Structures are given as structure tokens and as C-alpha cells.
């Protein structure tokens, strides 16, 4: 009798339960608690960023496929996976629209609260991949000047349209991070980084916490303008002293839009299906109510800053997330797992 496929999945991944059951034995476990014993006789893992995929977890398993329903991959040891022939798939671009919405709701919201006029703003985008390109598109639509720093893209495409990190920091009124976390970006935002930023400029991190040296950021905050932090060092045990100093603090939910979660799950399911030849799921996409959950199309042309702020806050009242987090930062993981996904916005 042919052995049945076994898949271990993070129980917090939405829209997944029931999808693989006709084809595989499914085991759902909270991502933080997936252990060596759980995966020993499994064929595939479907995870989020909370499951560290390395030799410690996978050393004596028969896993041949890991699909993460996230953009980030810093939780996966690619060297070990390569050595074992384990295929790894990440859901590139799945939550780009949600992060774009977060950035602009936060930007306009804090500008309103602090009576900052966004007059000829210059947005410096560090990392211009799927997320950064979405942010660039909306920034230009709103009349911002944009500076882009992305050394890997500049190396491939040529330097035109890109600038150095130093030039970006010295000439931007808004600096927003959208790089992956790797050895070239870990603690990139250090004391030298902040010393180059213009006084009063915005700083936004909705990428990965460890890109920022939090001690250096805390020292720089008196010089900076609004500071918006969604990702933190040592999650979920975050630096509450830093949280108390920033203008918006949220528990790593910038990409938690309804569309982002649909896209992430669909991407992971399709990758696993193709790896194991489950043809019925090659084009899987979760069912959803388009009337209730489709992106909201916005026309912001001709609107002033106050009107734009109102539109962004109506579609995503970001200060509610900030308030809920500040009230109970120890509930970091619960706030994420029980998050009410928001509808994305899009600009025609």
C-alpha cells in the first residue's frame, strides 16, 4: 500500500484547513511550537516566519519541501536545505499591497497628529523589490519625489534611477525600509545611518526588526521626526522602552491585509502541490466574498493632505492597532494570530 503524504502546517495560516486533506495527512501546530518530533516523518512543511527551519528542526526528517506563506526567508537555513535537497518556496510579493497601505496610513496619520505639512516630500525607499515598488508607485501618484537605494537591483539593471544609501539619507524627508534581512542588511540602520538622516525626517521600519540597531535608533529619536515601527528585534519579546518612544508601534502586522493572506496561502499551496504532483491544486486560490473583501479602489487626485489623511484612516485606522499593542505588548503573538485582516487599497 502506497504511503500517504504527510504535511505539517502552522495552524495560524488562514484559508488552509481542508485544502490538502483529500491528498495528505495534515497536522496543524502553532508555528512557534513545531518541533523535531513533529516533522520527523513529514514530507512537507507549510509555515510562517515563526518556524526556524534549520538542522536542529530538520536534521533527521524526510522533509523535501518547505513553503512559507511569507515574503521573508530569514527563518530558513538555505545552506542546510540545499545540502539535503529540500526545495524552499517563499510567497514573493504576497503582502506588498498591505505594507503599502500601512506605510501611507502611518505616514499621513502621524503627520496629522503632529501638524506636519507634507510639502514637497522626498521619500527615500531602501529596498525596491515587490513592496518597495508598490510604495514608490503610490508615492509618485501622490506627488512625492522618490529616491531609491537598492544595490542588488542597481548592479543588475545599472545605476540609473538608484542612489547611494548616504545620498538617500541626507536628502530624504521620509526614510522607509523594505529590504530583506541578511548579512548585508543586519543592523544596517546603525548610529552612522541615523547621523546622516535629516533632522525632523520620518523613519519607518516595516521590513525586519534586526535591520535596525535599536539602541542607535533610541539615541537618534530626539533628532528625528515621527518614527513608525512594525518590526522589532527579538520578537515577541520586544523593547518596550523603544515602543514608548515611537509614534506608531504595531506587532508585525503591516502586511496583514485580507488580500495578502489570500495570496500567501495560495502561493504556498500551489508550490507544495506542484512539488508533489497534486494537479487539482496547481491553480488553487481560496474562495472569498469579492463584495466584502476585494481591494478598495481610490481616486486621490486633487485632494488635499487632510482629505487624503481621512481617506487612508477610514480604510485603515492604524492608531487602533497602535493602541491595542501598547495596552498589552506581552500579547504580541496573540494580536497577530487573532488579527482582523483589513481590505487593501489600490490606486488605478
Secondary structure E strands in 52-172 = 65-68, 87-90, 122-126, 145-149
CA 213, CA 215: separation in Å to the nearest integer? Answer: 6
137, 235, 275, 326: which one is catalytic?
235
48, 50, 75, 208: which one is catalytic?
208
CA 271, CA 282: separation in Å to the nearest integer? Answer: 8
Annotate 107-133 with b (16+ C-beta within 10 A) or e (fewer). bbbbbbeeebebeebbbbbbbbbbbbb
The yes-or-no answer on residue 343 being catalytic is no
Q: How far from each other are the two terminal CA atoms of the chain, in whole angstroms? A: 54
The yes-or-no answer on residue 137 being catalytic is no
252, 336, 342, 343: which one is catalytic?
252
The yes-or-no answer on residue 234 being catalytic is no
* Closest to 227 in 3D by CA, of 240, 244, 211: 244
Q: CA 219 from chain center: how many Å? A: 25
The helices-and-strands tally (H runs, E runs) of the chain is 15, 13
Residues with active-site annotation = 208, 235, 252
Amino acid at each position: 500500500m502506497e504511503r500517504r503524504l504527510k504535511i505539517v502546517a502552522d495552524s495560524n495560516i488562514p484559508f488552509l484547513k481542508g485544502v490538502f486533506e483529500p491528498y495528505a495527512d495534515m497536522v496543524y501546530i502553532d508555528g512557534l511550537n513545531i518541533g523535531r518530533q513533529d516533522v520527523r516523518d513529514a514530507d512537507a512543511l507549510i509555515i510562517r516566519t515563526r518556524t526556524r527551519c534549520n538542522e536542529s528542526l530538520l536534521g533527521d526528517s524526510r522533509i523535501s519541501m518547505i513553503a512559507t506563506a511569507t515574503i521573508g526567508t530569514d527563518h530558513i537555513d538555505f545552506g542546510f536545505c540545499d545540502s539535503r535537497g529540500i526545495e524552499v518556496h517563499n510567497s514573493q510579493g504576497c503582502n506588498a499591497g498591505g505594507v503599502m497601505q500601512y506605510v501611507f496610513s502611518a505616514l499621513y496619520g502621524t503627520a496629522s497628529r503632529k501638524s506636519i505639512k507634507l510639502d514637497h516630500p522626498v521619500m527615500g525607499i531602501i529596498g525596491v523589490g515587490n513592496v518597495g515598488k508598490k510604495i514608490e508607485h503610490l508615492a509618485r501618484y501622490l506627488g512625492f519625489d522618490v529616491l531609491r537605494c537598492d544595490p542588488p537591483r542597481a548592479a543588475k539593471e545599472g545605476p540609473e534611477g538608484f542612489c547611494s544609501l548616504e545620498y538617500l539619507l541626507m536628502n530624504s524627508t521620509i526614510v522607509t525600509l523594505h529590504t530583506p534581512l541578511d548579512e548585508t542588511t543586519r543592523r544596517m540602520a546603525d548610529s552612522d545611518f541615523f547621523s546622516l538622516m535629516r533632522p525632523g525626517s520620518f523613519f519607518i521600519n516595516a521590513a525586519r526588526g534586526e535591520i535596525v540597531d535599536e539602541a542607535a535608533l533610541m539615541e537618534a529619536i530626539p533628532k528625528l521626526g515621527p518614527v513608525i515601527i512594525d518590526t522589532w528585534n527579538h520578537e515577541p519579546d520586544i523593547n518596550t522602552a523603544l515602543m514608548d518612544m515611537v509614534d506608531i508601534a504595531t506587532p508585525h502586522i503591516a502586511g496583514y491585509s485580507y488580500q495578502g493572506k489570500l495570496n500567501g496561502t495560495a502561493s504556498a499551496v500551489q508550490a507544495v502541490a506542484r512539488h508533489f504532483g497534486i494537479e487539482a491544486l496547481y491553480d488553487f486560490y481560496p474562495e472569498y466574498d469579492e463584495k466584502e473583501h476585494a481591494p478598495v479602489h481610490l481616486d486621490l487626485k486633487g485632494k488635499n493632505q487632510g482629505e487624503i489623511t481621512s481617506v487612508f484612516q477610514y480604510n485603515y485606522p492604524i492608531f487602533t492597532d497602535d493602541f491595542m499593542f501598547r495596552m498589552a505588548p506581552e500579547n504580541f503573538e496573540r494580536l497577530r494570530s487573532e488579527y482582523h485582516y483589513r481590505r487593501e487599497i489600490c490606486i488605478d
